[in-house]
């Protein structure tokens, strides 16, 4: 299957700093990538849809100025958590989208665990 990488896998930062997370599709081009957040013992919640060459689309309740998304190429999307606070501590997971007629699939990265102190 398709491979998606994320970097870093772990990050610990102080409150008020910004953290950038990279999501790369290694063996295919993805015009669309998705960013999810998962709190402990909860399901994945879609944060935003990242589209190459255009602005990201954010889900209701997600602050676009706090979670900056840039999809500069067909293989790379970045999520920047600006002025991080302890409540932003979570597991952030990206996925790269492969379209198809009814067979569309998302391939998930390994996730980034963020701890804000």
Partner 1 sequence: GQQVMQIPQYQHVQEGEDFTTYCNSSTTLSNIQWYKQRPGGHPVFLIQLVKSGEVKKQKRLTFQFGEAKKNSSLHITATQTTDVGTYFCAGSTSTGKLIFGQGTTLQVKP
Q: Cβ of residue 16: shortest distance to partner 1, in angstroms?
A: 28
Q: Cβ of residue 39: shortest distance to partner 1, in angstroms?
A: 12
Pick out residues in 59-98 that bind partner 1 (CB under 8 A): 91, 93, 95, 97
Pick out residues in 22-51 that bind partner 1 (CB under 8 A): 32, 34, 41-46, 49
Verify binding: residue 8, partner 1, rule CB under 8 A. no
Chosen residue from 55, 63, 104, 115 binding partner 1 by CB under 8 A: 104
DSSP string across 78-117: EEEE-S--GGG-EEEEEEEEE--TTT-EEEE---EEEEE-
75 Cβ partners below 8 Å, 6+ apart? 24, 25, 26, 29, 30
Q: With contact defined as beta carbons under 8 Å apart, do 108 and 95 qualify?
A: yes
The binding site for partner 1 (CB under 8 A) comprises 1, 32, 34, 41-46, 49, 91, 93, 95, 97, 99, 102-111
């Amino acid at each position: 299957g398709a491979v998606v990488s994320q970097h870093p896998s772990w990050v610990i930062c102080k409150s008020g700093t910004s953290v950038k997370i990279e999501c790369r599709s290694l063996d295919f081009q993805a015009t669309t990538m998705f960013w999810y957040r998962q709190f402990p013992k909860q399901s994945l919640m879609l944060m935003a849809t990242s589209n190459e060459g255009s602005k990201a689309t954010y889900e209701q309740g997600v602050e676009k100025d706090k979670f900056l998304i840039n999809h500069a190429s067909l293989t790379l999307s970045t999520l920047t958590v600006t002025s991080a606070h302890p409540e932003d501590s979570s597991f952030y997971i990206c996925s790269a989208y492969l379209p198809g007629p009814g067979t569309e699939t998302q391939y998930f990265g390994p996730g980034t665990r963020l701890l804000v102190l």
